[in-house]
Chain A
Amino acid sequence: MTAIFKRELRSFFSTPLGYVFSAVYLAASGLIFALFTLRSSTSDVSTYSSMMLFGFVAVLPLLTMRSFSEEKRLRTDALLLTSPVSATGMVLGKYLASLTVFAGNLLLSCVYIIPLGKYAADHSPVSAARTFGCFFAMFLVGACFIAVGIFVSSLTESQVVAAVGTMAILFFFASIALFNGMIDSYAVRTVLSWISLYSRFTNFTYGMFDFAALVYYLSFAAVFVFLTVRVTERRRWI
């Protein structure tokens, strides 16, 4: 697993992908931060973090589109699948590599808080708990999105299909909460709000540690990682 993790991580930055991703991520997050925090003259980053959820929908597929589809297309998966590495190790190595690149960018984008702290008005200082909560929640949602992206990538040989497919699925998960109000049936609404990644987000942005949400996000990521493992294992049975 470590070997695959290291190789993946290095390959992000020995190909343009890692740089393109970082550039797009930082540009998008900078823009969103400027619009929804600085321009709104607020020291509260919760709007920023909820908007970033939609930024992730567009950006994170770039990070994961390649992971399995490229291996399939170039048949390099033959090396991994005939090495003494379990499918779980293989998937986790790739997942954690993508997660690491994402986390690195998220960490970089924390510098936005410095000017915020410096220029925040005295009557509304930056709340450490809320800010931390927002970034932590963003990390969790990103971890879920990456799991979905890796899964979709394992289904196809085409990076484009992987990216677009991931975007569609992520958009569904991120936006359920938005059109949930339009649905009449209470049962459907309940189910939809239960699977909505967005609605679990709120408590963190208030600076509360929502343990249930944490478990939910981790399970969500784990389910997709597990599905990817199954797809990888299934490949030899076709």
Chain B
Amino acid sequence: MIEVKNVFKYYGNVMALDDVSFTVNEGEVVGFLGPNGAGKSTMMNIITGYLSSTSGDASVCGIDVLENPDEAKKKIGFLPEQPPLYREMKVSEYLNFVYDLKKCTLNRKAHVDEIMAVTKIANVRDRLIGNLSKGYRQRVGIAQALVGNPPVMIFDEPTVGLDPKQIIEIRNLIRNLGKNHTVILSTHILSEVQSVCDRILIINEGRLIADEKTENIARVAGSDRRYTVKIAGPRRDILRELRALSGVRSAEDTGDGDADGAAFDVEAERGIDIRKSLFNMLASKGWPIMELIPRGMSLEDVFVRIMDEDERRRTAPEGRRGGKE
């Protein structure tokens, strides 16, 4: 459906993308994950034909975006990082403009109404876009991408600036779109990709360092292995006992704490659930658990881990290529 082959992109002398290749199959929801400036937006802009690559090919539905841009663009709905909204237009006016711009052939009124219903912007249809809140603007931006019902949707950070309720709505919307569209979205929030995407592409400093099913990434992230525990009792003794507990890989005193007790970071060995033994040990000592918070890994942790693995793989047996400095 989407095929990217050996794409390089330089901005002047700055390398933004370094030999990126991947394919996205029909009906897949793929998340681009990476820190700011990793090259996510550049990659998306290249697929949509907004930018061109320095070398390499990108094609959508078998149509090369450089050779046949008009046909390729018809297949894509694109929400850029900054939604391309004309502030002086009304919402309905704007969507009708996009409808004309994309040379749609669907029934105009029904199609625009449907999009407004799906993105929940029908109630602001007659308001000027410039007067809308950030959340509504973001949704108008998404609505714009849906016009013409293109088979491929590309969303660059679709949930930025939305409140938690809207984020959930947008994620549901994207998940629904994923049922009969191919979707690529970018984000730097790990939980977002986990909740929406089938597959994750991790990009760092322009290089694609991981291309995995979401479950695998979740396993790498090992979100069920680290806890912050708040325990009432003598700090030093608790720490000693925690470290002695079997299955505990490391335990640290966070230094935090209040009248309830002191907080500790505990990490379990891979594949071991320490919660029961932790409870039993503390109960036997008479130190009650006041709080037990599972700590998912942050994106940074996942990155560090995946980058470490990437480096190990690359420098491993033959050591043909130098590691990343």
Real binding pair: yes
Q: Quote the shortest CB–CB distance from B154 to chain A (angstroms).
A: 9
Q: Quote the shortest CB–CB distance from B73 to chain A (angstroms).
A: 5
Give chain B residues whose Cβ lies under 8 Å from the Cβ of A80: 84, 101
Give chain B residues whose Cβ lies under 8 Å from the Cβ of A6: 97, 100
A67-85 interface bits toward B, Cβ cutoff 8 Å, 1 = contact, 0 = none:
0000000111111111111
**Total inter-chain residue pairs, C-beta < 8 Å:** 73
B78 touches A82 (CB 8 A): yes
Among A3, A81, A84, contact of B97 (Cβ-Cβ < 8 Å) = A3
Binds B, one of A7-15, A148-156, A176-184: A7-15
Among B11, B50, B82, contact of A82 (Cβ-Cβ < 8 Å) = B50
A82-B48 in contact given A3-B100, A3-B101 (Cβ < 8 Å): yes
A74 touches B70 (CB 8 A): no
In chain B, positions 79-135 with a C-beta closer than 8 Å to chain A are 80-82, 84-89, 93, 97-98, 100-103
Q: Determine if A86 is an interface residue (Cβ-Cβ < 8 Å).
A: yes
A236 touches B50 (CB 8 A): yes
17 pairs, CB–CB < 8 Å, chain A vs chain B:
A2-B100, A3-B97, A7-B89, A11-B89, A14-B88, A15-B88, A74-B86, A75-B81, A76-B85, A78-B82, A79-B84, A79-B98, A81-B49, A82-B78, A83-B101, A84-B73, A85-B101
B186-201 interface bits toward A, Cβ cutoff 8 Å, 1 = contact, 0 = none:
0000000000000000
Among A11, A83, A86, contact of B88 (Cβ-Cβ < 8 Å) = A11
Spell out B's residues near A (CB within 8 Å).
Answer: 11, 45, 48-52, 69-71, 73-74, 76, 78, 80-82, 84-89, 93, 97-98, 100-103, 144
Q: Quote the shortest CB–CB distance from A159 to chain B (angstroms).
A: 14
A238 touches B49 (CB 8 A): no
Q: How far does the alpha carbon of A14 sit from the alpha carbon of B90 in the complex, in Å?
A: 10
In chain A, positions 50-107 with a C-beta closer than 8 Å to chain B are 74-86
Give chain A residues whose Cβ lies under 8 Å from the Cβ of B82: 74-75, 78
A75 touches B84 (CB 8 A): yes
Please indicate which of the listed interface residues A6, A84, A85 has the most CB atoms of chain B within 10 Å of its own CB: A84
Q: Determine if A186 is an interface residue (Cβ-Cβ < 8 Å).
A: no
Q: Determine if A237 is an interface residue (Cβ-Cβ < 8 Å).
A: yes
Q: Quote the shortest CB–CB distance from A221 to chain B (angstroms).
A: 25
Q: Determine if A4 is an interface residue (Cβ-Cβ < 8 Å).
A: yes
